[in-house]
Structure 1
Amino acid sequence: MCKTKFQYILWILLIGVSMIACQQAGEPNAKNESEFKALSADTEFDLVIKNGRVMDPETGFDKVANVGVKDGTVGLITEKDISGKRVIDASGHVVAPGFIDYHSHAQEPYGHKLYVRDGVTTPLDLEVGAFPVNDFYEFWEGKSFVNYGTNVAHVGARLEVLDGQEPDGRVLYSPAMGRAMNDGSQFKTKLYDPKDEKTIVDAVEREIKQGALGIAYPIGYYTVVGSPEINAVTALAGKYNLPITTHVRYLAQIPPSGYMGITEMLTIARQNDAPVLFHHVQSNCLGLTGPCLDLIDAARAQGQKVVGEFYPYQYAGTYVDADYNRPGFEQRMGIEASDYVITATGEHLTSKKFDSLRTAAPGTNLLMYTMKEEYIMEAFKRPGTIVGSDGMPWIVEGDEGGFNATFDTPYGAGNGHARGSGTHARILRMVRETKAIPLMEAIGKMTYGPASFLEDHVPQMKRRGRIQEGSAADITIFDPETVTDNATPKIGENSLPSTGIPYVIVNGTVVVDDSKVQNVAAGVAIRNKTIN
């Protein structure tokens, strides 16, 4: 049976790490930046990156310099000659902070392998999150070559409370989770009932105490949820000093619209003094992308901590039975049935085929061409936006269930959305080809911008998203003249890796070495303190 995007997103709720505190085992020297003293030039470094154009978006530092890495930390940035056990010559390349992606659903080794080839050192799932949170961290402990972390999934609490879904201890896909996704599941069909509210709030609070980074609301997939419930759960964000993130209701440019969805969540976040991240603004707002970004900018100008995210593709990933794909989608989104493509086969739909799938195979994965180039450029050029890939799990032909890719699955064998392979390289290519924004600004949208949103609530992020003395040695080295995405919508080309990013370092360990991914446990858990 073909699993939907949301089925996958829900089985990730069962992935899991028993950690005790934010400063995890394996986290390299999490020193306060103000206390860090640069190492001397005569230090024997573990790794030296020479002759690269070092670009730090927080400070604006932009010089050809040498970078010395010691014990997983950037120990020195200097124009002086330095030596180390390993030397990488970065001549002609940019040496940037490792890219941070807060919208990563491809939480499996093959997905991580493609992320790191795209320059991503920290792919976190903040849009949907996990449930139970501890299981997610336990799953990755000691075996991830990238940093990993998650929000608590509001939808997981609804599944537990409304559908009686109990995790069965398995990782990856859970049959119990699959059963909860059957038509009629209460989490996505039951109208708001105040009697459910306290139990749902209690379930979310229990998982917050397991070290969640924030609270995730992908309510675009269960629009039936009541605003009072969201408000009650968001009160926990204020209580525990956490942000919220959301895929808002209503993928539409007519009422009820994505604009209305953003207004709702801005109001709830403001009422509870919670920072809010809006995922893929252009995907929900479509022709209203500009006005939606104006809303976000206005809220920020009034002192609210808020950020909008986008990805640089004209098509999105979905499934037949998603709320927004119900009849009438043509007017709501300004598209036709032929703008949908079956992910696994590349077949374009007709109205007749779409109607038959609603009954026969409502979980069929689709790509839908909803976003025009001007929507993407509006978000790309808007100061303050950040990049999030929304990378989905990879469907491997012949695998029962589909989502069984491994680290050794060949590039190109995974089918899905190209954004999971090429988002960040595509952004860099857009800079080169359009010159619409400076390179430093683009790097900031993938590094310091994301880090600064989370760092007041997750101390580990204060050391990421920048390349400075004392920062974590998460580093991406790319050639600005050749870096490019290679993934396309075609079957067999969805999961082709980006090129022009020959070296990626995670916590001081070279994970991409001359464009070859090393399966080493370099990543650390990005996690808040657990609370007994």
Structure 2
Amino acid sequence: MKKTATALTLILTALSATAAHAQGFDIVINNGRVMDPETGFDQIANVGINNGFVTEISTDDLEGARVIDATGHVVAPGFIDYHSHAQSEYGHKLYARDGVTTPMDLEVGAYPVADFYEFWEGKAFLNYGTNAAHVGARVAVLDGQEPDGRFIYSPAVGAAMNDGAQFKTKTFDPMDEPAILSAVEAQLKQGALGVAYPIGYYTVVGSPEVMAVTGLAAKYDMPITTHVRYLAQVPPSGFMGITEMMTIARENDVSMLIHHIPSNCLGLTKQCLDLIDSARANGMNVRGEFYPYQYAGTYVDADYNAPGFEERMGIQASDYKLAATGEALTNEEFDRLRTEAPTTDLLMYTMKQEYIDEAFTRPGVIVGSDGMPWIITDDDGNKLGFTATFDTPYGAGNGHARGAGTHARILRMARENDNVTLMQAISKMTYEPAEFLEDHVPAMRIRGRLQEGSAADITIFDPENVTDNSTPTIGENSLPSTGIPYVIVNGQVVVDDSVVQNIPAGVPIRGSIIE
């Protein structure tokens, strides 16, 4: 009898263990094509998720509290976007529909950095992070304006954009350097991920200042990112801007991300990418970036839009359109806006498809949307500002379509372009961005890949039908992508059957906080 009881106990224990294993996952994704760009893993498999992490990838049957059938779909790491200015719930909602799990503003950054993280704490449904804004420090020090944490939305920025603003007109003065260095260092101590230099918008800044501030990035073992000087294909050109920042990064031995190469280099895109390839071959951690659209977002008073833009960029006034209405500019209207409304948002058609294809097919070049803040207008087309909320309807936001459709567009391009495999396209949006930052930011070591032990940031898409739907047309440039029915952030389903869930699933991606 004792023997029988012991045997029965063993049987019951085994059955219990089997049941526990069967029900042992918070979420199971079954029957999907699991793709991991770091290892090259690419096969039909099942994924088990527990406590926000991937805990099993297997061909064994898995069961859990929530089961998603991914038959006919790709199961990929969540997309990482280092170039997001659309830092609002509405902007993040569109990113979620586009498969993005981690949209961060590394091009402009935030000032103060602590305010940025405080803004998103407890309410972000996507992961969030930012750089220290060098331009924010200049606005604060030179113009006496204190931006709020989401720098690009700040009323102080609008005030500082006025003609004569010191941050963009004052030439290099060594006397300014100590205060600017102090302001940037304070942001790095608040957990910034690096230093952002969008100096294409304030080309007056002196190279010695940028060199000195980059010394702070080296001191705290952080990278720099840059929108380089000179949007031009004739001297002074985007190529020259890249060589300047390459020198500064090399002299300080820091990693560097160069944003939207085709946008700055135009007809010199190949030569700019060759320069980056050469630096990488010589051991420098530098990445180029691109977005897959032939038009860019800008504003009237940007340095590169000054008279003479025709020769610099090979375009005309009619190649600019008002972001809020879609109306093309004339020379007369451009001149009027320079005087009366210099901060007016524009779209400008500067890039040829061949520039984009050069970046898309080039190994080591990552995707960054450069998604801009969404403008809300009234029925008469009057700008109400950046007032979109989570509940703002799709299509109501006006701006650049890349903030809604970049990543689905990349997947569609991979489907249509034999020169780029699906794995390569996924890698440009996941593993390669994570790899750039992971030596500096530990949270990125478990993102950008789909492996046991990685964070459960996962994007599930239909490779045959995924597409962008946003267009330059007003009312259509904030339409969501389709063919991405599920997005998981830290083990929580944030896009569920193509519906975004407003749940606090996101976590801060942040550097060390130093008291």
TM tier relative to shorter chain:
over 0.9
How does 1:252-267 map onto structure 2 within 5 Å?
252-267=232-247
Deviation for aligned residue 1:345: 1.2
Alignment of 1:8-407 (within 5 A): 42=22, 44-167=24-147, 173-398=153-378, 401-407=384-390
Secondary structure in structure 2 of the residue aligned to 1:268? helix
Q: 1:438 aligns with which of 414, 418, 421?
A: 421
Q: 1:194-235, CA deviations, whole angstroms, 9 ceiling, x for partnerless residues? A: 111111111101110000000000000000000000000000
Provide the C-alpha distance between the structure 2 equivalents of 1:170 and 1:498, rounded to a whole number of angstroms. Answer: 25
Residue type at the aligned position of 2:411: L
Q: Which amino acid aligns with 1:89?
A: D
2:291–2:368 contact (8 Å) kept in structure 1: yes
| Corresponding residue for residue 14 of structure 1 | none
In the aligned structure 2, how far is the partner of 1:143 from the partner of 1:86?
23
Name which of 479, 482, 503 aligns with 2:462.
479
Q: Name the counterpart of 2:445.
A: 462
Aligned residue identity for 2:416:
E
1:447 matched to which residue of 2?
430
Task: Please give the alpha-carbon distance, in whole angstroms, between the structure 2 residues aligned to 1:505 and 1:169.
Answer: 27
Kindly state the Cα deviation for residue 168 of structure 1 after the two structures are TM-superposed. 7.0
Greater relative CO (CA pairs within 8 A, separation 6+): 1
CA gap of 1:66–1:170, structure 2 versus 1, over 3 A, is: closer
Tell me, what secondary structure is at the counterpart of 1:285? Answer: helix
Tell me the amino acid that sits aligned with residue 347 of structure 1.
E
Whether contact under 8 Å (1:41, 1:80) holds in the other structure is: no
Q: SS where residue 354 of structure 1 aligns?
A: helix
Give the equivalent residue in structure 2 for 1:523.
506
C-alpha distance in structure 2 between counterparts of 1:175 and 1:50, whole Å: 48
The one-letter code matched in structure 2 to 1:404 is T
Per-residue displacement from partner, 1:351-397 (whole Å, max 9, x unpaired)?
Answer: 22212221222221110000000000000000010000000011111
Shift in CA distance, 174/253, structure 1 to aligned 2, threshold 3 Å: closer
- Calculate the aligned-residue CA RMSD, in Å: 1.4
CA separation of 1:514 and 1:178: change in aligned 2, threshold 3 A: same
Q: Hey, what does 1:32 align to over in structure 2?
A: none
Q: Do 2:28 and 2:62's aligned partners in 1 also have CA atoms closer than 8 Å?
A: yes
Asked if the contact 2:108/2:152 (under 8 Å) is kept, the reply is: no
2:385 aligns to what SS in structure 1? coil
TM-score (norm 1): 0.91
Work out the CA distance in 2 between the residues paired with 1:347 and 1:157: 35
Q: 1:171 to 1:242 in 2, by over 3 A?
A: closer
Greater C-alpha radius of gyration: 2
Deviations 1:401-429 (CA, angstroms, capped at 9, x unpaired): 42100000000000100000000000000
Letter paired with 1:63: Q
CA drift at 1:177? 3.6
* Inter-partner Cα distance in structure 1 for 2:167 and 2:514: 27
Question: How far, CA to CA, are the matches of 2:448 and 2:23 in structure 1?
Answer: 25
Q: Secondary structure at the match of 1:414?
A: coil
1:466-517 CA-partner distances (Å, limit 9, x unpaired): 0000000000000000000000000000000000000000000000000000
Matched, 1:495 2:482: no
Give the TM-score, by structure 2 length: 0.94
Letter matched to residue 104 of structure 1: S
Percent identity between the two aligned chains: 75
The alpha carbon displacement at 1:277 in A equals 0.1
Contact 2:126–2:489 under 8 Å retained in 1: yes
Residues in 2 aligned to 1:358 and 1:180: alpha-carbon distance in whole angstroms: 15
When residues 528 and 171 of structure 1 are mapped into structure 2, their CA distance, relative to the original with a 3 A threshold, is closer
Kept in 1: contact 2:86–2:92 (CA 8 A):
yes
* 1:23 corresponding residue in structure 2: none
- Judged with a 3 Å threshold, the aligned counterparts in structure 2 of structure 1 residues 172 and 241 are, in CA distance, closer, same or farther, namely closer
1:160, CA displacement in angstroms? 1.2
Secondary structure, aligned partner of 2:56: strand
Q: Does 1:504 align with 2:504?
A: no
**C-alpha contact 2:486 2:494 (8 A) present in aligned 1:** yes
Distance (Å, rounded) in 2 between the aligned partners of 1:480 and 1:167: 42
Distance 2:117 2:511 in 1: 11
Aligned partners of 1:41 and 1:81 also within 8 Å: no
Give the Å deviation of 1:175: 3.5
Measured after TM superposition, the shift of residue 340 of structure 1 is: 0.7
Q: CA deviation at 1:171?
A: 9.2
What is the aligned length? 493
Instruction: Answer whether contact 1:73 1:472 (CA < 8 A) is retained.
Output: yes
**Counterpart amino acid of 1:195?**
M
C-alpha distance in 2, partners of 1:480/1:297? Answer: 30
2:311 is paired with a residue of what secondary structure? helix
CA displacement, residues 133-173 of structure 1 (integer Å, 9 cap, x when unaligned): 00000000000000000000001111111111235799984
Distance 2:414 2:399 in 1: 25
1:259, 1:288 within 8 Å by CA — same for their partners in 2?
A: yes
- How far apart, CA to CA, are the structure 2 residues paired with 1:171 and 1:257? 27
Q: How far apart, CA to CA, are the structure 1 residues paired with 2:351 and 2:181?
A: 35
